Amino acid sequence: MKRSTPARSAARRSTSVGAALGALLLTVGLGAAAATAAPLPEPAAPPSASAGLLDAMRQDLGLTAAQAEERLRAEKAATEVERTARQRAGAAYGGSWFDPSAGRLVVAVTDRAKEPELRALGADTRLVRHSAAALDRAKARLDGLRAPEGVAGWHVDPRANAVVVDVVRDARRTPAVLAFLDRARATGLVTVAETAEAPRTYAAGTVGGDPYYTGNVRCSIGFSVHGGFVTAGHCGRAGAAVRGWDGSAMGTFQGSSFPGDDYAYVSIHSGWWTVPVVLGWGTVPDQLVRGSAEAPVGASICRSGSTTRWHCGTVLAKNQTVNYSQGAVYQMTKTSVCAEGGDSGGSFLSGDQAQGVTSGGWGNCSTGGETWFQPVNEILARYGLRLHTA
C-alpha cells in the first residue's frame, strides 16, 4: 500500500499489533475516517477477535461480547471438525452447518452407521435422504439452464437437504419464471424460496477518498496477497490500470473473471506494499488476517467495505449460483451481511480467517439485505497466489 503523507496519515486509521508489526501497520489505511485505535496487544495465544470486532458482532448479531467470544471459539472448533467429518462420512456425507444454539457442527449423513463415528469427533448428526454429491449434481444441472430475470439464483442447502431456487417475490408468477421452475423441479431435489429483490453488484461511480478506482468505478480491496491484492472481477478487466485512494497509479489487473466467476488479481507497483490487515474504517480496530480456513454454514462473518465500513451477519449458504443481469456466477457464498455500492471486492472475515471478496446482493445497510461473496481460496488457487498472513 502506498506510503501516507503526514496530512493523509492524520485522516487515516492505524493500529499497533505488537512490536514486530507495529511500525508497518501504522501506515495501513485506504481512506478510513479519522480515529485513534487502541493498541491491540500480541499475547502468546492470540485472542479470537479484537474488542471492536466483538462489539460489531454484538451490534449486528445481538450478542454480548462474551457470547461473541464464545461463538468464535465454537466456530473455530466446528471448522476443524468439518474437515475430518467430511472425510469420515465419505459417500454418505450430506453437508454440514454450524448450529449457534448448540455451539456445534451438525453433519448430515445418508447412512445411520456413520453417526457414532461423527459424534465421536464432536459433531451432532442428522440422517438425510440425499448425499451432498447428489445435491451438487442436481445443482449442476440447473447451472446448465438459462435463468430469466426474476430468478435470483440457486444453491445447495444442507439443512433442507435440497437445492433451493430463490425467486424474486414480485416475479414468481411470471410465465418465464414458472417455466424455469418446472424444468428445475424435474431434478426431483428442488425447493423454491422467495427473496425481496434481485441481486446486483456493488461497484459504484467515482467518489473521492476511497480505496481504489479503475476507470470511473470505485471498488474495495479484498485481501493482500504477496505481490498485490484480490478483489471482485466485475470491478475491472485484465490489463486495466488501478488508481489508489489518492488518484496515483497503484497497480494493474493481472487476471479477472466475470460473470461465471467474480474474482480478480491486481498486482501493485513499486512504492506500494501489502500487509495482512483488513481495515476497520474507524468503526472497529484494523483486523489481522491469520489464514483462510473456510467457515461452515451458520457461522458468524463480518465484512469490510469502503462505503458501509464494517458489518456482521452469518453464512446462509454455499455453492450458490447467483443470477445477475450480466450473467450467472457460480459457487458463491450467501450471507446475511448488508452492503452497498462501492463495497464490491471488499473483505469477508470469520474471526481472523479470510473468507472471500464481496460480489453483490440486494438491499442496503439501512433496511437490511443479503450479500454474496466469492470464496478467497478459489481465487488463490486460480492465480497461484499466496495470502499475506500475520
Indicate which residues carry an active-site annotation.
234, 262, 344
CA dihedral 229, 232, 237, 239 (to 10 degrees): 0
CA distance 75 to 22: 29
Which position has the grid cell 445435491?
135
Q: Across-strand partners of 281?
A: 284
Widest CA span of the chain, in angstroms? 66
CA distance 138 to 134: 6
Which position has the grid cell 414480485?
170
CA distance 363 to 368: 6
Which position has the grid cell 453483490?
360
Q: Which residues contact 379 (CB under 8 A, 6 or more apart)?
A: 230, 263, 265, 356, 357, 385
Sign for the CA dihedral angle at 321, 165, 193, 190 comes to negative
